[in-house]
Amino acid sequence: MSEYIAHEHDVLIIGAGGAGLRAAIEVSAAGGKVAVISKSLLGKAHTVMAEGGVAAAMGNVDDRDSWRVHFADTMRGGQYLSNWRMAEVHAKEAPARVRELEAWGALFDRTSDGRILQRNFGGHRYPRLAHVGDRTGLEMIRTLQDHGIHLGLDVFMEHTVVTLLKDGERIAGAFGYDRERGRFHLFRAKAVVLATGGIGRAYKITSNSWEYTGDGHSLAYHAGAALMDMEFVQFHPTGMIWPPSVRGILVTEGVRGEGGVLRNRNGERFMFKDIPPLYANQTADTEEEGWRYTQGDKNAKRPPELLTRDHVARCIRHEVREGRGSPHGGVFLDIAWIKERLPNAAEYIKKKLPSMYHQFKQLADIDITQEPMEVGPTTHYMMGGVKVDADSEMSDVAGLFAAGECAAGLHGANRLGGNSLSDLLVFGKRAGEYATAYAKENSLGAVNTDELESAEKWALQPFERKGSDNPYAVQHALQDVMQERVGIVRQEQEMLQALERIRELKAASDRVSVDGNREYNAGWHTALDLHSLLTVSEIVTRAALERKESRGAHFRDDFPAKDEQYGGCNVVVRKGAGGEMHLTREPIPPMRDDLQQIVQEMK
Amino acid sequence: MATATFRIWRGEKGQGKFQDYTSEVSAGMVVLDAVHQIQAEQAGDLAVRWNCKAGKCGSCSAEINRMPKLMCMTRLNTLPLERPVTVEPMKAFPHMRDLVTDVSWNYGLKKRIPKFQPRQPDASDGTWRIAQEDVERVQEFRKCIECFLCQDVCHVLRDHHMHEQFIGPRFLVYAAALEMHPLDVGDRVESLRKDFGIGLCNITKCCTKVCPENITITDNAIVPLKERVVDRFFDPLSNLFRVFSNSKT
C-alpha cells in the first residue's frame, strides 16, 4: 500500500509561471477552489526571464496599430501554421489583459502623455510591446503572484508531478512528490490545467533553467492527449557565448529594438544580405533607414536585425560556418555604436537596458556601452505543445487544459518576441475560466489506487539500484545529441542517429541510481525528470523527421525550401495503443473569410 | 587545468559539517557552476536551489566566504582561490538540507501586508495616466528579485530572531513600493508601526550593501517609511491638528 498525502480541489494548476498564475487567479475569482503546483519557489518561474515586453495592440505609440495588424503579424510570423482562431483571440484580448495588470499594480514605462509605453520588436509592424525596462517578465510574474496570494490560492511550492490520473476518458488529478521531504502527494481535481512551460533542458545550450524538462508535454502525451507542432523549437538568435559558463543566457531582442546591430568579424552588417521575400516590403533599405526606425520614425522600415528569430538565428549560424564569426564562435551585437548618433548614449543604454548592462559587466567583464557583445543562438522556446481547443484551451482529454508555452497553436512555425507574455495572459485566463466551468459541471473522478502504487514504485526505483548510470551523465548525453543532431539545422540521417541514441539513453535512464535519501535530493529529481526529457526529445525528433520541408524554426538541410503540401498541415503526435508514437499530418481548417481578408490586406 | 577547493556545508536541519570538494576551474566560472560540477561528478544528492543562473530569479542565495551572495553572480575570479571557498546556507531561516533553507516565512508575510488598492481610473476607458518620473521612483523597489539576502543579513532577524515582530527589509521595500505607488490609495502606516515593527530597524544599512539589485533599501525605502510613521504618530503639531480636525489617525 502506498503512502501519500491527499488533496482535493476543483481545479489543479500544474505550473506557477505567468500562465499558471493567471489561470489560478481566474479560477479563484470565479469562486473555485484551486491549487497551484510549482516545481520551484513561487515567482521564480521562467517568466521572470522575459525581458522585452508583452505584445498588445493598444496603439499608444502608433495609432495605426490594431488587433487586425497584430493578428496578421502573428500569422505571418508563424508561417501560417498557427491556429487562426487562437491568433485572433490573442490579438483581440491582449490589450485588456495588459490593462488588467496595471489595475493589479504593474507599473509599465510611460509615454509622454502618461499612457503605457510600447516598443518595437522583431516581426511586429508597429511599436507594440508594453514593457518595464528590460525586466518586463519580473514585473508581470510579481504582479500576478502578489495579486493571487490575496485570493486564497493553495500554492504547493517545490512539488513535482510525475503522472496524471484519469477516470476512464476524463481527468481525475495528478500524483507527485515534494522536494523538501520526498513525500508523495495525490491531487484530486475536477479539472487540471497544464502550465509547465518549455523543454529547453533537452538541449545543451539553452536559456532555460533546470525545471524546463517538458513535464507538461510528457504528462499530456502519456495521458492520451495529442501534441502538435513539436518540430518547432525556437532558437533565440542572441544568447551569451563567452565565457563558457554563461553560454546560453539570453540577450534580449530589446538590444536590437533600441538600435543594436549585428556584425561579423569583418565589421559587415550581414543581416542586409538575406531578406526573406515575405518581409521584403517591411525591411529597411539602408542602415540609415533602420536607425530612424529604432528612433521612432513612423515612415522608416525596420532594420533586418529585427526580422523573425528563426531567420536571424540561421543567418548568425551561416556567418559562423563561413568563417566570419567572432573569436568565440558567434557574431558581434553592437549597441555601443549609437554613441555616434546620440549624446549621452552610455546613460541611455544603461537606462533602457539595465539588466543587460549588469549581466555583461558582472558575468563577462564587458561594458556594453563601450564595446560589442559576442552572441550566438540559444534554445529558447517551444512553439509546439498540447493541442487544445482555441476557445477553451481544453485538450483531447476531457477536463485537461493547457496554456502558455506547453500549449500549441498560437505561434505556429515561429513565435514573435513579446507574443509569449501576451499568450500566457490571454490563454491562462481562458484556461482558468473554462476549467472552472468544467469543474462546475463535473464531480471528482475516481482514482485507481493501483496506479498510485505503481507510480510510487517507479519513482523510488533509482534508490534501489546501486552503482549504475549517473542521472546527470544521462541528461548531459541527451543534451549533446539534441544539440548536435536536432538543432537549428537538421537532416534525416542525423536525426535517425539521434533516435537511436535516444533509445539507448532510455535504456540507460532505466538503470540510473541515486545516492542519499528522499529529502531535497537533486540527483533523484534529475533521474525522474529524465522520463519527460526523453519523451519530448523523441517527439521533437520524430516530428522533425516527418516535416520534410523548411519552415520557420524548422530548417532541413536536405529539404531547404518550403513545400506547400506541408504548408497546410500540422504534425500531430499521439501515443498509440501499444505505447508507440503515432504521427499524423492534420490539415489546418480553412481560415474564416474575414480573417483571410485581413491577411491579404496586410501583405 | 586549474583547480580550487570548495568547502560546502552538508547536512540536514541545522546539523552538519563542511566538506571539501576539489573541482576544476575554467574561465568565467561562477560559484554555482562549481557547485553544479560537484553535484554532477562527486555529490549527486547535494541540495541547492537555483533557476535562471542569470541573477534574475533570486533562487541561489547563499553565504560565500561568509558574505550573503547569489551563487550565480559570484565569479570565481573575484575570490581568493588559494584557500578553500566556503559555501553555506543562509542563516536567518530554518535549515532544510545542505545549501537549502526554508524561506516559507517570507511568503507568509506578504499575505499580511494590505494589498494594492488603485485610485479610480483617470480615463473613461478605465486606464490611468502616470508620469514616467512617478513610475521610476517605485520601479527601483519593484526590481526586487526576492532572493531574501537582505533578510538574511538583517541582525534583527539573523541575530535576534524577531521574525514575529519584524517583517525585515524585503517587506519594508515591498510596503514602500505600495505606499509610494502612484495609483495606490491604501494606508499601511499604522500597520508598519504596530504589526510590522518598522521601529526595530536601526538603519545599519547591511541590507543595502548585500542587495544584488542595488536597491537603496535603507535610504530610499525604509527611511521614508519611518518618516511617515513619525509624522503620523509622533509629530506634536500634526497630532494637535488631528485632534481638532477629527481626521483619522
- Domain with residue A569: its CATH number is 1.20.58.100
Nearest to A516 by CA among A469, A561, A466: A466
Nearest to A99 among B29, B127, B178 (CB): B127
pLDDT range class, residue A42, cuts 50, 70, 90 = very high
Give me the domain span that covers residue A345. Answer: 236-379
**Chain B (19-58) residues lying within 8 Å, Cβ to Cβ, of chain A:** 26-30, 33, 39-41, 44-58
Cis upstream peptide for A243 (omega within 30°): yes
Looking at the fold, whether A350 and A484 belong to one and the same domain comes out as no
Q: Looking at the predicted complex, does its ipTM rise above 0.90?
A: yes
Alpha-carbon gap, residue A259 to A273, rounded angstroms: 18
CA atoms within 13 A on the CB side of A281: 5
The grid cell for B34 is 562549481
Interface size, chain A vs chain B, as Cβ–Cβ contacts under 8 Å = 169
Per-residue confidence (pLDDT) for residue B227, from 0 to 100 = 96
Q: Do B54 and A249 touch (CB under 8 A)?
A: yes
Beta strands A555-556 and A569-575: pairing type?
Answer: unpaired
Question: The CATH number of the domain where A247 resides is what?
Answer: 3.90.700.10
Residue A331: inside a domain: yes
| Residue whose entry in the numeric block shows the C-alpha cell 519584524 | B166
How does pLDDT run across A135-162, given as a tens digit for each residue? 999 999 999 999 999 998 999 999 999 9
What's the rounded mean pLDDT across residues A105-128?
95
Q: Which residues of A touch B145 (CB under 8 A)?
A: 48, 138
Query: What's the burial of A352, exposed, middle or buried (CB within 10 Å: 0-12/13-18/19+)?
Result: buried
The DSSP element (H or E) to which A12 belongs, if any, is strand A5-14
User: Residue B54 in 3-state DSSP?
Assistant: coil
Q: Does the pLDDT value for residue A266 go beyond 80?
A: yes
A475 shares a domain with A372: no
**Chain B interface, best mutation among A47, A48, A245, A352, by max B CB count within 10 A:** A245
Which of the listed CATH numbers 3.90.1010.10, 1.10.1060.10, 1.20.950.20, 3.90.1170.40 matches domain B104-245? 1.10.1060.10
A290: exposed, middle or buried (C-beta count within 10 Å: 0-12, 13-18, 19+)? Answer: buried
Residue range A532-539: average pLDDT? 98
- Whether A353 maps to a domain, the answer reads yes
pLDDT at A468 over 90: no
Would you write out chain B's pLDDT as a tens digit for each of its 249 residues? 799 999 999 999 999 999 999 999 998 999 999 999 999 999 999 999 999 999 999 999 999 999 999 999 999 999 999 999 999 999 999 999 999 999 999 999 999 999 999 999 999 999 999 999 999 999 999 999 999 999 999 999 999 999 999 999 999 999 999 999 999 999 999 999 999 999 999 999 999 999 999 999 999 999 999 999 999 988 777 666 766 765 444
Note whether residue A442 is domain-resident: no
Using alpha carbons, select from A319, A408, A449, A375 the residue that is nearest to residue A588: A408
d(C-alpha A490, C-alpha A553), whole Å: 11
Judged by CB atoms closer than 8 Å, whether chains meet at B145 and A104 is answered as no
Average pLDDT on A187-193 reads: 98
Grid-cell match 491562462, residue found: A428
Percent of chain A with pLDDT strictly greater than 70:
100
Residues of B in contact with A138 (CB under 8 A): 56, 142-143, 145
- CB-based burial, B192-217: b 16+ in 10 Å, e otherwise: bbeebbbebbeeeebbbebbbbebeb
DSSP-derived secondary structure letter, A435:
H
| pLDDT band (50, 70, 90) for residue A183 | very high
Domain-embedded: residue A245: yes
Query: Could you tell me the three cell numbers for A5?
Result: 498525502
Using the structure block, give the residue that is written with the C-alpha cell 538503470. Answer: A511
- pLDDT computed for residue B248 by the predictor: 45
The Cα A269–Cα A281 span in angstroms is: 19
Q: Is residue A46 part of a domain?
A: no
Residue A101: in which H helix or E strand, if any? Answer: helix A84-103
**What is chain A's mean pLDDT, rounded?**
96
Instruction: Return d(Cα A401, Cα A281) in angstroms, integer.
Output: 39
Query: In terms of domains, do A371 and A472 share one?
Result: no
Grid coordinates in use for A362? 558582472
Catalytic residue numbers of A read: 236, 256
pLDDT at A601 exceeding the cut of 60: yes
Q: Report the CATH number of the B3-101 domain.
A: 3.10.20.30
Question: What was the pLDDT predicted at A134?
Answer: 85
Which of A38, A39, A42, A48 should we substitute to test contact with B (largest number of B Cβ atoms within 10 Å)?
A48
Residues 97-126 of B with CB under 8 A from A: 97-98, 100, 102-104, 107, 110-111, 115-116, 118, 121, 126
In sequence order, the β-bridge partners of residue A184 are A177
> Do residues A242 and A366 share a domain?
yes
| Phi, psi dihedrals of residue A381, rounded to the nearest 5° | -155, 145
Percent of chain A with pLDDT over 90: 92
- Segment 66-85 of chain B within 8 Å of chain A by CB: 73, 75
Q: Is residue A347 part of a domain?
A: yes
Is the confidence at residue A429, as pLDDT, over 90?
yes
β-bridge pairing A34-38 and A5-14: parallel
Q: What are phi and psi of A351, to 5 degrees?
A: -80, -40
Split into its structural domains, chain A has a count of 2
Residues of B in contact with A41 (CB under 8 A): 49, 59, 103, 107
Instruction: Sketch the domain layout of chain B as residue ranges.
Output: 3-101, 104-245
H runs (alpha helix) in chain B: 31-41, 104-112, 132-142, 149-153, 155-158, 168-179, 189-194, 206-210, 223-233, 236-245
Query: Closest Cα of chain A to B110: distance in Å?
Result: 8
